[in-house]
């Protein structure tokens, strides 16, 4: 099983490389249409957030005031794990390199190029003026970085997130594809492929439940609630809440979620009190 995440700067050929690697290795290429299908399975109240996920659109200043980060983060993580559970896929952008980093069978690539080269490529591709190309590059770089930082609290330029950081300064999309394919060929292969798929499915389920708990109980109450999958539909709640009633409510929400057979509630109650 091979799973490739491709993060890219606009004008770096990242999208083209992702598509070509998928074709060459016979992997499923999850383009925006595939992501849209998954996003449409979201809770209707999350539709605006899912549109941001599809477009990699980071929230502006005023949007951030209302951006329920903990629940959105859990939701986006669920979508990424669900994509990965298909096995043999190429996932482009959207924080997949953060969520899937160090997971078995996953190879993370960051495709970059100097800004001047990217501007010239965009100018040629879009047949536009240099000023428009500069604006396009700056806007896309900003939006994608804002998305990763706002949702996952990570800097996409953190090279520790990747197995390969690749500059296409002196490469065509075809020659760059060969480099990525060669790098993936040398990675350690997963022996228990079905086990890994099931692991990703379980993680996706746990994150769906986590998003629901954080939404229904509000981020203030459930910000520190985490849900970890065990075997056989068992999920474990960990972290902390403020009151015993919150602990019971979180357990009830998780227990009623389809596919859950049992809940192990390890939540800690802080029961903070204030007085003189």
pLDDT greater at residue 152 or residue 59: 152
What secondary structure letter does DSSP report for 274? -
Name every residue whose Cβ is closer than 8 Å to that of residue 92 and which is 6 or more positions away in sequence: 5, 6, 8, 14, 15, 18, 30, 31
pLDDT, residue 188, reads 75
Reported as a single tens digit per residue, the pLDDT across 249-264 is 999 999 999 989 999 9
Comparing CA positions, the residue from 3, 19, 50 lying closest to residue 188 is 3
- In this prediction, residue 271 has a pLDDT band, given cuts at 50, 70 and 90, of low
**Amino acid 195: pLDDT:** 86
Q: Domains (ranges, CATH) in the chain?
A: 3-185 (3.40.50.300), 217-269 (3.30.1340.30)
Residue 10 DSSP symbol? T
* Tokens coding 194: 């079905």
Dist CA 208 CA 38 (whole Å): 12
* pLDDT(6) > 80: yes
Cα separation, 263 vs 249, whole angstroms: 12
Judge whether residue 37 has pLDDT over 90.
no
The SS3 assignment for 111 reads: strand
Q: What is the mean pLDDT of the chain?
A: 86
Give rounded-to-5 percent helix, strand, coil for the chain.
55, 15, 30
């Amino acid at each position: 099983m091979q799973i490739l995440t491709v993060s890219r700067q606009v004008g770096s050929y990242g999208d083209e490389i992702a598509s070509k690697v998928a074709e060459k290795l016979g992997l499923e290429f999850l383009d925006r249409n595939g992501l849209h299908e998954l996003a449409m399975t979201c809770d209707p109240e999350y539709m605006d957030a899912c549109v941001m996920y599809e477009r990699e659109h980071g929230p502006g200043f005023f949007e951030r005031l209302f951006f329920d980060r903990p629940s959105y983060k859990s939701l986006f993580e669920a979508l990424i794990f669900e994509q990965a559970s298909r096995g043999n896929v190429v996932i482009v952008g959207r924080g997949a390199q953060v969520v899937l980093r160090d997971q078995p069978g996953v190879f993370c690539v960051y495709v970059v190029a100097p800004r001047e080269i990217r501007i010239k490529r965009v100018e040629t591709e879009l047949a536009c003026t240099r000023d428009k190309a500069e604006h396009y590059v700056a806007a896309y770089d900003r939006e994608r970085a804002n998305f990763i930082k706002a949702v996952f609290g990570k800097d996409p330029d953190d090279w520790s997130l990747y197995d390969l950081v690749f500059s296409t300064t002196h490469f065509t999309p075809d020659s760059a594809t060969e480099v990525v394919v060669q790098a993936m060929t040398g990675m350690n292969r997963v022996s228990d492929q079905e086990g890994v798929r099931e692991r990703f499915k379980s993680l996706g389920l746990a994150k769906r439940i986590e998003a629901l708990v954080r939404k229904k109980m509000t981020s203030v109450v459930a910000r520190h609630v985490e849900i970890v999958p065990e075997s056989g539909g068992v999920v474990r709640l960990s972290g902390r809440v403020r009151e015993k009633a919150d602990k019971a409510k979180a357990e009830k929400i998780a227990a009623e979620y389809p596919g859950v057979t049992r809940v192990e509630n390890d939540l800690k109650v802080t029961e903070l009190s204030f007085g003189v």
